[in-house]
Structure formats: structure tokens, C-alpha cells
Amino acid sequence: MQLQNYTCGEWVAGAGKQSELVDAVSGELIGTTSSTGLDFGRMLAYGREVGGPPLRKMTFPERGRMLKALALYLMDRKESYYELSYRTGATKADSWVDIEGGIGNLFANASLRRVLGNMPFYVDGDAIKTSKGGTFIGHHIMVPKEGVAVHINAFNFPIWGMLEKVAVNWMAGVPAVVKPATVTSYLTEAMVKDIVASGILPEGALQLIVGSAEGLLDHVMHQDVVTFTGSASTGRMLKKHTRIVDESVPFNMEADSLNAIVLGPDATPGTEEFDLFIKEVGKEMTLKCGQRCTGARRILVPQNVLEDVQIAIGKRLGGTVIGDPRVDGVRMGALAGQTQRNEVKRALDELLKGSQIVYGSADSVDVKGADASKGAFMSPILLLNADPWKNQQSHNVEAFGPVSTLMPYTDIDDAVALTKLGKGSLCASIATYDEKVAQQFVWGAASHHGRMLILNREMAKENTGHGSPLATLVHGGPGRAGGGEEMGGKRGVMHYLQRTAIQGHPSTITAITQQYQQGARMNITKQHTFRMHFEELHVGDTVITDIHPVTLQDIEDFAHLSGDKFYAHMDANSLEGTIFTGRVAHGYFILSRAAGLFVDPPKGPVLLNYGLDECRFVKPVYPGMTIQVRFTVKEKVDQEKRTPEDVAKGIVKFLVDVFDETGETVAIATILTMVKKLDQSL
């Protein structure tokens, strides 16, 4: 079988010399691949010209629904990916991370449609007042880049590696060209075939290169974004590419990482944290045969428990059955191929210059249900580096396989300093039930890590583990780890958006962002806004309410009803040294009374009020003053029906601007309401 590239709307087999792709377990030939003859320049132009425009036109909710539909579609086909995934040497559990973890990324990013707003672009943060008179303000918008997301991926997660990235660029409105590592590209190709066949994405949103991508970067342009996951040496070479430099193309690099896992000084043998730590180390060394970028390569333990830890880890690893991942009871499969095994052995030789093997063997391994001479099997290997300050190989050499090094530390400061010798890592963990230890470790080491996990008995059950990046949390690390950052919920989407500061009159800024800003023109509606359906309301629609004169009795009544008898409201003799010149009305009274002014009571399209986004009491209100409200539609967010029977509705945010007899604002808040649609079929 020859794998195919998906380029410019067609499936194309590469010409010329083919790379052979081999089953990691049996050594059998799976197929061949080549990208020779592909016109990379045309592919990138096709992505920009054909894939980009329809994606950019879609709103965030539309893109999110597209991602969700794709996730459901792929979930239905997951069994076929599991079958193929065994051939990469992965067990069922390893494949779950790759396949369902990858699809989970689509779901997680799809959910961002609820937080990114209703437009094709994102409005970032609050508007900024840049003038005294309020006629000149600034805001930030983030629009989709008009280029292509070029993803160059590592071999270890052929599905997750693609989906965690494309989910994000599609959510942003940017098309992708995916280049999986050749050795496991057959699994990526199988999924891309399904994605294309689904017709869920607009044409041009996804293209695939199987085989070499040498020369691809010769065609990138300033609106493109390149992400690279792989070894530091390849990453550094590509990052220096003249097109990357000359066109200022953002280059996100995720590379080698010598992640550490630390046993807290309190977590002595017999404690729950000690057991959790041993379990976690065992998992880290054997899951995916140690081929995880986040894998715990360095195991730091207090000097006095070094031997206990060594024995406990050895015991744990001893129970790991290695072999054909399809066979019952097998917990660890094979490395992705012989080349990868040779690489691990080469790195191991380097590590052995400063460490010794205390568990496992580089040369022999017992396997179940497979032929050890044909598959890329390897035993887990635990090394001991007795002097980690002297023998620095452990902090510099990554063996991308089931190899980790145990080393002693003296105190937490020493542990922090040792983790930093990794020169920047994706993640670090500590097992401790002592919050002071956790605090000291995290405060000390966070500058050198992209993610940190504190493992203890209280979170153990729900904990996702040292090595698992989550779609909602940032993945990436400084220094050696590449200095990149991806995922992290809406933070990830921002990498594919151009942030632009916009400056002008509040009316102009409101018209652009569709978020009402104070000082912008208002449209005083004939009908009360509570009488209008979602579709009938427009940003800027305003009701100016009646006036309420605030009295001392109001303050007394509100204090009695709420129980809030704070001295500033109740005791005129206690105000010396405060900003108040008399008994001041409760801020919550002002807001509550404002509701009494702006609410139009009879049953209508407004279904409910579910809270406040922000609220400030900006000027004291004393008896004798009056309050009145400008009640303005600030923003509308469409909502989808959860079930066909659901009431069709949207969220309307209203700006509640409470002002006094001088016209000055005394309180300001944004209230969140759900408003029924006229068209219930939507």
C-alpha cells in the first residue's frame, strides 16, 4: 500500500523513492510513502486562498459547532484507529491518549464557542479610556490571520499531535497543512481520509503531507504560523530558516524536555504520597514505552530514601508485562521502530557516562506474544546518578524511551536547583502533602517549567497525571523545551489571531466590536427593551428610566431587610477618617433599586437574569440625591438549542449605568439576561 498526500483538494501518491513504514511489533511492511513531486508552494497558496476565506467568515459558534460535529464523527470511527495504532507499538491505554485524547481536544476547543463571542473575530479585554472627555477610547480586536497553520509533528502521537493543533487553528479561522513524522504517518493518513470524506470542513481547511517536508518552509509567508514538535536539533534548524526570519513567521517549538518528578521530604515510605509517587514513576516510564515529551526523565528523591525508592520502582517495573499490545495482560508495547530504539540506545550510552543501570537491561527483554528480534521492544531502564551536580548528562540527554534516572537531593532548594539544570522543561511534579513544601517548590521552579503538578492523597483519584497536557491548560516550556506554548483553552486560539489596537470615538468602536461602550450614541427605543425578542434588540438600544429620590428611610429599610448594618450606612457619628460625609446608601441598595427602575415586570421575552459580569460603586449616594438608569444593550451572544424542545434564546448583556441628578455615574454594572427568540425553529 502506498500512502497518499492530500493536496489542493486531491489525494496524490508521491513519486520516486519511497520510505518504508514498518509494523513496530512484527517488523512487517505496512506500506510506503513519498512526498516527491508535491508543489509545496501551491499547497500553501491553496490553503490561504481556498481554505482561509470560508473559515474566516464563520463566527466562533459556527466554528465550534463544526469542531463538535467532526469530533462526534471521528468518535464513531475510533475502533479502526485503535486497530492501526497497535502497529505503532502502542497498547490500548497508550492509544486512548492518542485517539480519544486527540478527539477530546476537538470537543474541548468546540466548547470555546461559548467564551469567544459571537463574531468571526475576538474582542480582547475591556476598552481603554485614553482621553479626559471620553470621546477618544481604545480597544483590542483579534482577527484570524490570513495564512496557513503549518504543523510539523513528532512521531509519538500521530493523531493527538495533529488534532490538538488543528482544533485550535480551525477555531481561530485558519486552515492547516499537517506534516506528521513519516514513521507513524499511516495512522494520521487514515484519520485525514475520514475527515476529508466527512465533508464537515470547508475545502482547503486541511491538507496532508506524508513523507518528507524538506523545502516546505521555503514557501511560508508572514501571515502563516509554523508549529514544530520534535527534536531540538531539527527544531533549531527549521527555526533559523531564512523565510521564518525574513517574513517574521511565528514559529512555535515544542522540543526535548528533561522533565523532573520530585518526592517531597515529607513523603517517606509508608505515606500515601510515597505510594502515589512510585505509581506515577512506573506509569511515566512505561506508558507509550516512554515516548512522551512530558515523560518524567529525572526522578529526584531525598538522599535518605534513595534505596527505598529504587527498590519500590524496581518492584513496580518488574510487574510490567512487555509484548504485543494486542495480547491480554501486556502493559507496555514497542517503541515506534528500530530507528527509534537505536536512538534511545545511543542516548543511553551517553547517560551511562554518569549513571549506572539499577533496573532493566539495554540488550535483552522478555516479551509476550511477539518476537523480540523483530519488534522494537525494550525493557524499562532505571538509572542511578549518585552525584547529579557532578554528572550532568542526566540534565542534558533525553533518551526518548522507557529510561529515567534516579538521583538524590539534599533539601527543597537543592531539588529546585537540580530541576533547573534541565534548562527549561515542559513539566515538573512533586509528591507532597505539605503545602509549605509545595509552595517552596512551585515558587522556586515555576520560571523553568510550563506546567507543574502537585500530587497528594486529596487529588489522587481525579488527578490526570504528570505526563498529561490538558486542552484547557497551557502546554509548552521555556528553554530546552522549545520556548513554545500551545493549547491552554482560549490562550491557544490567540496564536492564530492578529491582535490589533483600535482607537476612535466610542460610537465607532462600538460599531466595530458590537460591544457598547460608555459615551457611544444610544438608541432610545420606543418600546421597553424587555418587550423585545433577541432578534429585535440591537447593541446600543437604550431605556432611560424614571427617577428615584434616595431617602434615609431607604437606607434603614435596606439595612433591616438585608441585615447589612455596616457603620457607614447606620452611624453618622462613626465617619471620621472615612471618605463619607454622611450616612451613605448601600451599593447593593443602589443596584437593587436600579433594577426596580429598569425592570419591566410583565411576562415577556426576557426569561431570566443569571448574574452580573462586573459591578462598581463609583460615587457615594446620600439621602436627598436621586438615581436614574441608562439601561443599554451592551452585547448579544447567540445560543444554540440543546434539544429540539429547548426554547430558542440568546444572551443579552445590558449595561446598567446608574447616575445621579448631576448626570454623573454612581454605579455601573453589566447584567446577564436570557432572551427568547422570535423564531423558535432555530
- Residue closest to 625 by CA, chosen among 543, 555, 542: 555
What is the spatial distance between Cα 431 and Cα 458, in angstroms, rounded to a whole number? 11
* Closer CB to ligand NAP, 336 or 666, in the complex: 336
Cell numbers for 596, please give them: 426596580
Stretch that binds ligand NAP, among 134-142, 249-257, 401-409, 524-532 (CB under 6 A): 249-257
* Closer CB to ligand NAP, 257 or 632, in the complex: 257
* Closer CB to ligand NAP, 335 or 384, in the complex: 335
In the beta sheet, which residues pair with residue 611?
A: 672
What is the spatial distance between Cα 187 and Cα 88, in angstroms, rounded to a whole number? 9
Residue with the closest Cβ to ligand NAP? Answer: 230
Site for ligand NAP in 275-294 (CB under 6 A): 293
We find the least distance from the C-beta atom of residue 256 to ligand NAP, in angstroms, to be: 4
Measured CA angle at 363 (ends 361, 364), to 5 deg: 75
Coil, helix or strand for 49?
helix
Site for ligand NAP in 483-512 (CB under 6 A): none
Please check whether residue 97 is in contact with residue 288, taking contact to mean a CB–CB distance below 8 angstroms. Answer: yes
Q: Which of 58, 123, 137, 154 binds ligand NAP (CB under 6 A)?
A: 154
155 makes contact with ligand NAP (CB under 6 A) = yes
Q: Residues binding ligand NAP: what is the number (CB under 6 A)?
A: 27
254 flagged as catalytic: yes
33 makes contact with ligand NAP (CB under 6 A) = no
What is the spatial distance between Cα 260 and Cα 444, in angstroms, rounded to a whole number? 14
* Closer CB to ligand NAP, 258 or 584, in the complex: 258
What are the two backbone dihedrals, phi and then psi, of residue 604, each rounded to the nearest 5 degrees? -160, -155
We find the least distance from the C-beta atom of residue 294 to ligand NAP, in angstroms, to be: 7
In 153-244, at which residue ranges do the beta strands (DSSP E only) sit? Answer: 176-179, 206-208, 225-229
What is the spatial distance between Cα 659 and Cα 666, in angstroms, rounded to a whole number? 5
* Closer CB to ligand NAP, 347 or 520, in the complex: 347
* Closer CB to ligand NAP, 97 or 481, in the complex: 481
Stretch that binds ligand NAP, among 148-156, 413-421, 501-509, 665-673 (CB under 6 A): 148-156
455 makes contact with ligand NAP (CB under 6 A) = no
Cβ of 510: how many Cβ atoms within 10 Å?
A: 26
We find the least distance from the C-beta atom of residue 327 to ligand NAP, in angstroms, to be: 27
Stretch that binds ligand NAP, among 43-51, 255-263, 453-461, 577-585 (CB under 6 A): 255-263
We find the least distance from the C-beta atom of residue 234 to ligand NAP, in angstroms, to be: 3
Site for ligand NAP in 209-248 (CB under 6 A): 212-214, 216, 229-231, 234, 238
We find the least distance from the C-beta atom of residue 218 to ligand NAP, in angstroms, to be: 10
Site for ligand NAP in 375-414 (CB under 6 A): 398, 400
156 makes contact with ligand NAP (CB under 6 A) = yes
Stretch that binds ligand NAP, among 146-154, 452-460, 593-601, 666-674 (CB under 6 A): 146-154
State the burial class of residue 642 (Cβ atoms within 10 Å of its Cβ: 0-12, 13-18, 19+).
Answer: exposed
The counts of H helices and E strands in the chain are 19, 28
Cβ of 646: how many Cβ atoms within 10 Å?
A: 11
What are the two backbone dihedrals, phi and then psi, of residue 624, each rounded to the nearest 5 degrees? 100, -20
Name the catalytic one among 254, 398, 486, 635. Answer: 254
Name the catalytic one among 164, 189, 293, 635. Answer: 293
153 makes contact with ligand NAP (CB under 6 A) = yes
Please check whether residue 621 is in contact with residue 627, taking contact to mean a CB–CB distance below 8 angstroms. Answer: yes
254 makes contact with ligand NAP (CB under 6 A) = yes
CA-CA distances (angstroms) from residue 162 to 67, 166, 188, 198? 14, 6, 8, 17
Measured CA angle at 479 (ends 473, 481), to 5 deg: 55
What is the spatial distance between Cα 443 and Cα 451, in angstroms, rounded to a whole number? 12
Q: Please report the DSSP string for 633-658 in residue order.
A: EEEEEE---SSTTSPPEEEEEEEEEE
Site for ligand NAP in 177-216 (CB under 6 A): 179, 181-182, 212-214, 216
We find the least distance from the C-beta atom of residue 153 to ligand NAP, in angstroms, to be: 5
Would you tell me which residues interact with ligand NAP (CB under 6 A)?
152-156, 179, 181-182, 212-214, 216, 229-231, 234, 238, 254-257, 293, 398, 400, 426, 481-482
Catalytic residues: 254, 293
